[in-house]
Amino acid sequence: MRKVVTLKTALSYALALSLASGTALAAEASRAPAGTIDGAAVETLTLTNGQGVTAKILTYGATLQSLMAPGKDGQSMDVLLGYDDAKDYADHPNYFGVTVGRYANRIAGGKFSLDGKAYQLPVNDNDVNSLHGGGKGFDKQVWKVVSVKSGPTAKAVLALTSPDGDAGYPGKLDVTVTYTLDESGNLGIAFDAKTDKPTIVNMTNHAIFNLAGEGSPEGALGHVLTIPAKAFTPVDANLIPTGELKPVDGSVFDFRMPRRVADGIRDGRDQQIVYGRGYDHNWALDKGATRTPELAARLEDPVSGRVLEVLTTEPGVQFYAGNFLDGTLVGKGGHLYRMGDGIALEPQKFPDAPNKPSFLSARVDPGKPYHHQMIYRLSVKR
């Protein structure tokens, strides 16, 4: 029988030692300069726990730049694709680990209507759709550091103000992103936003994972994925949802039981796989929207034993298998990133929800703030 040893187990042991010695466990938080982008100073915020987990966050794009996590051999490795230098996130943008907004994922034609008024957003996805906010989205701005604190749970809070009309969106939006790391290996990310007039909001993190370790030659297609969802939202040739909720039963989109990503990613008999060049689709989670985070996906690397669970309060999760990585981007350590080298699991409202009345609304009104809580939970399977 294979034994699962979580970071929580390690915490219990460490807690017993700390009580015996009279010391208290605490995760550490720190900040340091990371250069400048367009004349603005950028910082690195680092959260570290006692179990070998370290998260580094850039103030540019409120970006999760790296995430060190231990494997069953005890060695911690960076499991995120990205860049070593902050400036590369501006010079060669590819959404690695960034905070995306105001609206994550695609909006058809960059158009939507609210209270009878039409709005046009920048079209930055093959000159067809608006993607991840369009134009200069939240991922391309330097965020203000509100606070960085050590403690039982280390915390870093960043803030940004998006003015009325920014990228075509209505309403002044005051946004915060809160990163937290505890001794159990839970990296929390909370997105909060307040508006002064009706608008739409859909924020998430766009981390791309390789649990074998960033740049590993085998890539991430051998990872085993579970998504607790009976249906997904099929797309058209422009990757816009048709509005249908299609059952996953009997298809390569069925991840209700653990399956290797590689097993279905090249199945050209499924038109949806052809449209996405593999997996680049939203799953409608069985749980729907919730007040507390619940499981959206579980990813495991059988070789290293690293396990990632993604929890969210949102109703959907976009599974993207790095299909558009083509070997032209040089990432950390001089690694060329290719198709299948990483996997993104992005909790979210459904793509194009503002144009699909049957989807859960992304509307946010004055006095009714937006909140999305997600968690990356790390553990080790031996």
Residues marked as catalytic:
206, 346
> For residues 88 and 334, is the Cβ–Cβ distance under 8 A?
no
Pairwise CA distance, residues 348 & 289, whole Å: 10
Closest CA to 298 of 190, 375, 204, 202: 375
The backbone torsions φ and ψ at residue 253, rounded to the nearest 5 degrees and listed phi first, read -95, 5
* Element spanning 271, H or E: helix 271-276
Residues 123, 128, 130, 132: is their CA dihedral positive or negative? negative
Cβ neighbours of residue 297 under 8 Å, at least 6 residues apart?
225, 226, 227, 255, 309, 310, 317, 319, 345
> For residues 379 and 4, is the Cβ–Cβ distance under 8 A?
yes
Cβ neighbours of residue 291 under 8 Å, at least 6 residues apart?
313
> For residues 84 and 344, is the Cβ–Cβ distance under 8 A?
no
Pairwise CA distance, residues 152 & 222, whole Å: 35
Prior bond of 306 cis (ω within 30°): no
DSSP letter, residue 274: H
Cβ neighbours of residue 351 under 8 Å, at least 6 residues apart?
105, 106, 107, 233, 235, 239, 240, 241, 282, 318
> For residues 101 and 130, is the Cβ–Cβ distance under 8 A?
no
